[in-house]
Amino acid sequence: MRVGEAIIDLLVREYGVDTVFGIPGVHNIELFRGLHASGVRVVAPRHEQGAGFMADGWSISTGRPGVCVLISGPGLTNAITPIAQAYHDSRPMLVLASTTPTNALGKKFGPLHDLDDQSGVVRSVTALSETITDASQLPAVLERAWNIFTSGRPRPVHIAIPTDVLEQFVEPFMRTPINTPPNAPQTSDIQRAVQMLAGSKRPMIVAGGGSLECGELITRIAETIDSPIVLTGNAKGEVPSTHKLCVGSALVIPRVQEEIEQSDVVLVVGSELSDADLYNGGRALSFSGKVIRIDIDAEQISRRVAPEIAIVASAKLALTQITDELSRLGVEFSNSGESRATNLRLSARSGVRQDLLPWIDAMEQTMPEGTVVAVDSTQLAYAAHTVMSCNSPRSWLAPFGFGTLGCALPMAIGAAIADSTKSVLAIVGDGGWLFTVAEMAAAIDEGVDMVLVLWDNRGYAQIRESFDDVRAPRMGVDVSSHDPSAIARGFGWNAVDVTTVDAFSIVLNEAFEHRGAHFIRISVS
């Protein structure tokens, strides 16, 4: 078989790849020949940005690495934004791309789709970016990639393969396994952490995307020490919003930040304590209490906040040991966790734009249990991110790390493809929607069932307000998509316009009850 086929064969046989996202070109045909033979589902977006966001949405939903198959040069450069998003938010993504033939690599005489240094272009937004000119190295590099995805801080990997290498004939590749055991914590650190947690009178838990698999452990620890739990955007859903100790993803609310700062012991798990979550004008939290930090990444563990106890380990192992040690103490603590969490939830609700709440409540009351929600950067979504409930992990897809526009629609498509039994809702603004609007065509071709809610305030409203806040004359913010519903219908979607919350509830309910792609435009007066 050819190298292109052998790579796909290995990925399917040994790594369980069953879905890829990408656009073919002359340069990557050998990878597509392999995809055709393998029976892998190939999802064709309308732009490589769509491929990357779909792969990322698919990855959040499944917990597995999303895979993109792209062409050299523009195929890769078009995908840099979603690759950077996955990098920013520590998610796994395998990007396989063709590159310039070996004899022309770096020669600069202008081969088609050539970049001087394709792997260099994305090196700063990947954990590993390599051009492989010797086909026999491919199994080892794929294994390294999987190790990054599964045993370290997960981040994207880009592998570029020259077209002549993709065409070479080889025997099927064999996996070269590297077993990396998960990072175990030091017992002494766990004991110190347990003592500190047990001695706390005003504890707090902040859980980030690195703790996504640990919702139950975090809940048990919180119940034992009677602590509220604040979730970052990437952890939303890992502890259900219905839990009495769950504050939700409200780190942006000043009262919540104050409460964290005033807590005497704060357990931070798998979080950068990112500006994007705090939106704190670049100010780090100034903890007055002691901080226990658990992170898989040794470089991350003391960034911005140097903890009293630093546990560089797999969150699952560390939290399991903390849970065991706490239960050995056999004490139930009483630290007003429930009333603190309730007050913080109320602060969050009163801290968002009040006129948006009825729309958010309508969505919350209408959507079926377990609905996957993808949000874009739009005013309705900012408020929803803070106050809308989310009761299952891997069902809240948000771009608030990298903060790019246009990711919600393709991420929602990726999630719908990952599990067609789930309801999927995307919340997008009229400005951000246009960044990836072409993926509405892909949604129809893929037979995706989803609902897209367009918050149409005719322009970049958040930025309009930002100009006004600093008394700068408005510029470039009053953009329009003219007749969004006509655009949606043109792509084959069912489209309805609403202006009132009552009408919205009725239309949304109908949309969830019927299969297909539904577009609801809320025209904001």
Residues of this chain that interact with ligand TPP (CB under 6 A) are: 377-379, 403-405, 429-432, 455, 457, 459-463
- The listed partner (ligand TPP, Mg ion, none) that binds 379, CB under 5 to 8 Å by sort, is ligand TPP
Contact 86, 156 (CB under 8 A): yes
- Pick what 506 binds: Mg ion, ligand TPP, none; C-beta below 5 to 8 Å, kind-dependent: none
Our CB check for Mg ion shows the closer of 106 and 476 to be: 476
Find the helix or strand (DSSP H, E) in which 10 lies: helix 3-15
What backbone torsions phi and psi does residue 130 show, to the nearest 5 degrees? Answer: -140, 150
* SS3 sequence of 51-120: HHHHHHHHHHHHCCCEEEEECCCHHHHHCHHHHHHHHHCCCCEEEEEEECCHHHCCCCCCCCCCCCCHHH
For Mg ion, the closer of residues 82 and 429 by Cβ is 429
| Closer of 185 and 429 to ligand TPP (Cβ) | 429
Q: Are 313 and 334 in contact (CB under 8 A)?
A: no
To ligand TPP, the closest distance from the beta carbon of 124 in angstroms equals 18
Nearest-approach distance from CB 431 to Mg ion, in angstroms: 5
Three-state SS for 144-155 is HHHHHHHHCCCC
CA nearest neighbour of 452 among 482, 487, 479, 478 = 487
Q: DSSP 3-state helix, strand, coil percentages of the chain (rounded to 5)?
A: 45, 15, 40
In whole angstroms, the minimum distance from the beta carbon of 157 to ligand TPP comes to: 23
Q: Is 200 in the site for Mg ion (CB under 5 A)?
A: no
CB 97 within 8 A of CB 72: yes
> Looking at beta carbons only, is 58 or 433 nearer to ligand TPP?
433
- Find the shortest distance in angstroms from Cβ 464 to ligand TPP: 7
* Strand residues in 117-193 grouped as ranges (E): 128-131, 156-162
Number of residues that bind Mg ion (CB under 5 A): 5
Per CB under 5 A, 307 contacts Mg ion: no
Choose between 189 and 456: whose C-beta lies nearer to ligand TPP: 456
Structure token digits, residue 84: 């950077």
**Considering the complex, what minimum distance in angstroms separates the CB of residue 86 from ligand TPP?**
15
463 binds, among ligand TPP, Mg ion, none (CB under 5 to 8 A by kind): ligand TPP
Minimum distance of Mg ion from residue 480's CB (angstroms):
9
Residues in the chain: 525
Q: Which is nearer to ligand TPP, 66 or 431 (CB)?
A: 431
Spatial CA neighbour of 134 closest among 102, 156, 99, 110: 102
- Residues 460 to 479: which contact Mg ion by CB under 5 A? 461
State the Cα–Cα distance between residues 345 and 249, nearest whole angstrom: 10
Q: Shortest gap between Cβ of 262 and Mg ion (angstroms)?
A: 37
Quote the CA–CA distance of 375 and 452 in Å, as a whole number.
10
404 touches which of Mg ion, ligand TPP, none (CB within 5 to 8 A by kind)?
Answer: ligand TPP
- Nearest distance from residue 89's CB to ligand TPP, in Å? 15
403 binds, among Mg ion, ligand TPP, none (CB under 5 to 8 A by kind): ligand TPP
Alpha helices in 378-460 (DSSP H): 379-387, 408-418, 430-433, 439-445
Residue 4, binding choice from Mg ion, ligand TPP, none, Cβ under 5 to 8 Å by partner class = none
Between 185 and 429, name the residue whose CB sits nearer to Mg ion.
429
- Regarding 231 and contact with Mg ion (CB under 5 A), the answer is no
Q: Which is nearer to ligand TPP, 172 or 403 (CB)?
A: 403
Closest to Mg ion by CB, 449 vs 456, is: 456
Q: From residue 378, how far is each of 57, 128, 405, 459, 462 by CA, in Å?
A: 18, 32, 9, 10, 7
The option from ligand TPP, Mg ion, none interacting with 432 (CB < 5 to 8 A, set by class) reads ligand TPP
In the complex, residue closest to Mg ion by CB? 429
| Contacting residue, 66, 185, 270, 431, with Mg ion by CB under 5 A | 431
Residue among 89, 19, 479 nearest 277 (CA) = 89
Neighbours of 332 (CB within 10 A): 9
C-beta neighbour count of 473 within 10 angstroms: 6
Name the residue whose CB lies closest to ligand TPP.
429
Give, in order, the Cα–Cα distances in Å from 505 to each of 152, 470, 521: 43, 37, 12
CB of 404 to Mg ion, least distance (A): 15
Among 430, 439, 446, 449, binds Mg ion (CB under 5 A): 430
From 42-50, 165-173, 310-318, 455-463, give the range in contact with Mg ion by CB under 5 A.
455-463
Does residue number 457 form part of the binding site for Mg ion (CB under 5 A)? yes
CA separation (Å) from 419 to 239, 322, 426? 21, 34, 15
Query: From Mg ion, ligand TPP, none, which one binds at residue 375 (CB under 5 to 8 Å depending on kind)?
Result: none
Q: How far is CA 164 from CA 7, 74, 100, 157, 524, in A?
A: 14, 19, 8, 21, 54
Closest approach, Cβ 399 to ligand TPP, in A, equals 8
Q: Shortest distance, CB of residue 447 to Mg ion, whole angstroms?
A: 29
Residues that bind Mg ion (CB under 5 A): 429-431, 457, 461
